[in-house]
Amino acid sequence: MNAKSLRLGLTAVLLPAMSAWTQYSSPEAIHAAIGPVESLSPELRRAFTPNEDFKPLPKPGENDWLAIQPEPGQTYRQFVRAKPNKAAPPREVIYLQPLDSFTERDPKSLLTLRAFTRHFFRLPVTMQRPVDVSRVGIAERKNPFTEQRQLLTPDILDYLRRDIPPDGYCRLAITNIDLYPEPAWNFVFGQASLSEGTGVFSFARYDPSFYGERPDAALARLRSFKVLAHETGHMFGIEHCVYLLCLMNGSNTMEETDASPIHLCPVCLRKLQHSIGFDIAQRYRALATFYRQAGLVEESAWVTERAAYVSGP
């Protein structure tokens, strides 16, 4: 895996670069990014067909990710050539490490996050016992603007790296506490080290209550699912998607996060399926049941339809 460290959700001011969008969102470019499918089974061919179930990526607004971060996209072929890590025995377990203050807010949330991750990636997921960050050497501060508590991300990555179980594919910390990557920065949504299989993501800013607005637990949960699946997707070497509306689209604003779906486009689905080898229709069916039970009606309907389409006549 490449030795790459990512900081997530940072805003930079650069000149607008629309070329990626115009160049990669055409039907020809999307088919080229998916790559040849003729040798695949009929089920996989259907799964990787960019039909009307997948919405086009709208032209980016001036504050949107693709206007600010001119990313070239990553075709399926480029992904395979980069020899990304595959989750397989003996290293196939996704470890989730909660940091503080989870159970007091919603005791069921950790079980739900674990179940979501398991169904999304079709891999074993272990939820580790929440740790008290003040006991494990993680620096913290009070943000001078928001006056909210924040944790220092490099300390968290150090902590995670010290104890990755032998069967661990990756170890990801999740927290409701806000984060900062170094003292000069205001905040960061998360940070990950692909080479070490470690990452940390904060859900703090996903509930409108962070900004003094009315709490919206359902919205916060949907956003938490999205960020967890998106960032774990990066752990498999999947880069930002520039082809269709997709979970792996880069996001510079909360509006963009909300506009991106919780599912993968055919390009990114093909990458994840390459790394994990799951049965696509079975995965959609498991997600349909999970979303229905979690009250995510639209998402449940979408994966149910996809399961039927992929299974074929």
Nearer to Zn ion, 228 or 267 (CB): 267
Nearer to Zn ion, 170 or 265 (CB): 265
What do you get for the CA distance between the two ends of the chain, in Å? Answer: 39
C-alpha to C-alpha distance for 73 and 71, rounded to whole angstroms: 6
Q: Provide, rounded to whole angstroms, the least separation between the CB of residue 230 and Zn ion.
A: 5
Nearer to Zn ion, 68 or 246 (CB): 246
Binding-site ranges for Zn ion (CB under 5 A): 241, 246, 248, 265, 267-268
Given CA atoms 179, 181, 183, 185 in this order, what sign does their dihedral have? negative
C-alpha to C-alpha distance for 133 and 119, rounded to whole angstroms: 29
Residue 196 buriedness (CB in 10 A; 0-12 / 13-18 / 19+): middle
Q: Provide, rounded to whole angstroms, the least separation between the CB of residue 244 and Zn ion.
A: 6
Asked if residues 237 and 76 have their Cβ atoms less than 8 Å apart, the reply is no
Q: Provide, rounded to whole angstroms, the least separation between the CB of residue 250 and Zn ion.
A: 6
Asked if residues 307 and 284 have their Cβ atoms less than 8 Å apart, the reply is yes
C-alpha to C-alpha distance for 223 and 113, rounded to whole angstroms: 11
Q: Provide, rounded to whole angstroms, the least separation between the CB of residue 54 and Zn ion.
A: 9
Is residue 231 part of the annotated active site? The answer reads: yes
Return left, alpha or beta for 122; rule: phi > 0 is left, psi -120 to 50 is alpha, else beta.
Answer: left
C-alpha to C-alpha distance for 79 and 148, rounded to whole angstroms: 39
Report the DSSP pairing between strands 5-8 and 190-193.
Answer: antiparallel
Nearer to Zn ion, 65 or 169 (CB): 65
Q: Provide, rounded to whole angstroms, the least separation between the CB of residue 78 and Zn ion.
A: 13
C-alpha to C-alpha distance for 36 and 75, rounded to whole angstroms: 11
Q: Per the residue annotation, which of 38, 140, 213, 231 is the catalytic one? A: 231
| Residues catalogued as catalytic | 231
